[in-house]
Structure 1
Amino acid sequence: MEASTDFCLLMTSVDSEAAAQALAGGMVEAGLAACVQLFPMTSFYVWKGESRREAEYLLLVKTRTDLATAAGDFIRAHHPYELPELLQLPVTGGSAAYLQWLRAGTAGGVVAPPAGTQE
């Protein structure tokens, strides 16, 4: 494992698979993320004084720390919610080959994952 503070994981959630795919695809195409993973889930929360239970899609956005602000701006500009969830989690290390791929994937161009690996 290689130690690094160059990368982070952003989290957000949206109300539909279509919105999740549009947001994920837009970030990858813009070079703001090397990969975005989508997960269906159920969220329980309070919004404007009302308890809610909603089906949502969680997006895990893998990016460089120096792109986090731009990626967050992209999320806010294209997000369907009045107050989008936007959390940034630091990545403190990882596989050297994967981190190299992540760096290349956010450098402005489509890069295949390292040979013998799967995203």
Structure 2
Amino acid sequence: MEYLEVVTTVATKEDAERIARTLLEEHLAACVQIVGPITSMYRWQGEIERADEYQCQIKCRADHFKRIEESIARIHPYEVPEVVAHPLPACSSAYEKWLQTELRD
């Protein structure tokens, strides 16, 4: 089984917690770590922007990425939400067993 860490950012802790709870309730995530506030700088509509945000680090199965992307897009307040994934090439056997237990089809 392949696993990912999917990352998204939002403006408020409440939005981060809503995304986390939704993905956990849908069994698409085994764990969501909420980090923040962080400072993000980015180009948007021709301007350089700065924002304080909260980052969601979502542990999931690779084959769930599309469904996670759709769930985030459905509830995310941004016009273009960040949804990027990083592979988890290795993790401890105990953690992997826990992931398998928590993540369903």
Query: Shared topology, TM-score over 0.5?
Result: yes
After TM superposition, the score normalised by the length of structure 1 is 0.84
- Distance in 1 between residues matched to 2:2 and 2:43, nearest whole Å: 34
Q: Do structure 1's residue 13 and structure 2's residue 13 form an aligned pair?
A: no
Identical aligned residues as a percent: 35
The corresponding residue for 1:114 is none
Q: Which amino acid aligns with 2:63?
A: D
Deviation at 1:101, TM superposition (A): 0.5
The corresponding residue for 1:100 is 97
The corresponding residue for 2:80 is 83
Structure number with the higher helix fraction is: 2
Unaligned runs of 5+ in 2: none
Unaligned runs of 5+ in 1: 109-119
| Bigger Rg, structure 1 or 2 | 1
The corresponding residue for 2:55 is 58
* CA RMSD after TM alignment: 1.1
- Distance in 2 between residues matched to 1:103 and 1:13, nearest whole Å: 26
After TM superposition, the score normalised by the length of structure 2 is 0.95
Q: Which runs of 4+ in 1 moved over 3 A?
A: none
Q: Any idea what the Cα deviations from partners look like across 1:58-80, whole Å, max 9, x if unmatched?
A: 00000001111111111111110
